[in-house]
Amino acid sequence: MAVVSGTRAIVALDVPGSAEAVALVDRLGDACDFVKVGSELFTAAGPDVIAAVRRRGESADGDRDVFLDLKLHDIPNTVRAAARRASALGARLLTVHASGGRAMVDAAVEGAGGNCGVLAVTVLTSLDAAGLGEAWGRQISDVEAEVLRLADLARGAGARGVVCSGVEAAAVRARHGDALEILVPGVRLAGSGVHDQRRIVTPGGAASAGATYIVVGRTVSEDADPRGALARVRAELLASPS
């Protein structure tokens, strides 16, 4: 499986508030050109945190990109409006749940417009087959089949891409080629703790499977030298076979 050229590393700002987010961005400096603002930070700090981390310091190409990971799941009109606001705030990527249905994903794409890509979450990396079956009320024997089903739905609704684990990324890439971007969360450097994740891969493993983006969190933010940890992540991406 060919590596997507220029697989980008996104650093998760999974911190309690704006001050901590800015501090982490400052420690990473221009080594970090893409960050994730998730539910914890967005709830604590509000929309203003997006501008704060975009413009803090200087990244290589000016403002750094922001991935707004809110995993929206609501009626289409509500999601459309939320996606419109996310785009206006300057988010480059926004997540919605593919399980919200084709109409909801389509509404998100319409609201986000051309400047903010909508990524549809397939199956959370914290879920294995047993957990997914419990949540959906039926026996699941093949998580990959569920991921592919939801990826099909996302593509049909016009999403830019999907979120899936590195375990399923190669199957999504093989099925959809370049028609979908793939974001792989829960990425860990070898030797890092798995925490609450179930289906994880290394940066090189994700890139080799066809990831367009990877998200790295505690493997960078909890390192004594986060800038150095991010450099190791990027080195591994570059060294992955194509």
pLDDT value of residue 141:
77
* pLDDT reading at 2 higher than 50: no
Query: Does pLDDT of 197 surpass 70?
Result: no
Whole-prediction pTM value? 0.90
C-beta pairs of 138-145 under 8 Å, 24+ apart in sequence: 143/167, 143/168, 143/199, 144/168, 144/171
Query: What are the pLDDT digits (tens) for 94-118?
Result: 999 999 999 999 999 999 999 999 9
Establish if 211 belongs to a structural domain: yes
212 or 56, greater pLDDT: 212
Nearest alpha-carbon partner for 73 in 107, 114, 37 = 107
pLDDT at 81 > cutoff 90: yes
pLDDT at 201: 86
Q: Is the pLDDT of residue 4 over 50?
A: no
| SS3 call for 122 | coil
CATH number of residue 226's parent domain: 3.20.20.70
Phi (first) and psi of residue 165, to 5 degrees:
-75, 160
Residue 2 lies in a domain: no
Q: Report yes or no on 3 lying in a domain.
A: no
Domain of residue 69 covers 8-239
Please, how many CA atoms are within 13 Å of residue 177, restricted to the half-sphere of its CB? 2
Name the band, by pLDDT with cuts 50, 70 and 90, for residue 58: low
The rounded mean pLDDT for the chain is 89
In a domain, 137, yes or no: yes
Structural domains in the chain (count): 1
**pLDDT value for 188:** 87
236 compared with 241, residue with greater pLDDT? 236
pLDDT digits (tens, 9 = 90+) for 87-96: 999 999 999 9
Q: Is 40 helix (H, G, I), strand (E, B) or coil?
A: helix
Please confirm, yes or no, whether 36 is among the known catalytic residues.
Answer: no
8 Å CB contact between 121 and 153:
no
Please say if the pLDDT value at position 194 is more than 70.
no
Asked if residue 174 belongs to a domain, the reply is: yes
pLDDT of residue 191: 60
Is residue 16 predicted with pLDDT exceeding 90? yes
Residue 62 has pLDDT above 90, yes or no: no
Residue 1 belongs to a domain: no
Which residue among 8, 27, 55, 71 is the active-site one? 71
Give me the mean pLDDT over the 134-154 stretch: 87
The three-class DSSP label of residue 31 is helix
Residue 196's pLDDT band, with cuts at 50, 70 and 90, is very low
Domain-embedded: residue 175:
yes
pLDDT value for 15? 94
Q: Residue 65: inside a domain, yes or no?
A: yes
Is residue 198 predicted with pLDDT exceeding 70?
no
Q: What is residue 199's predicted lDDT score, i.e. its pLDDT? A: 54
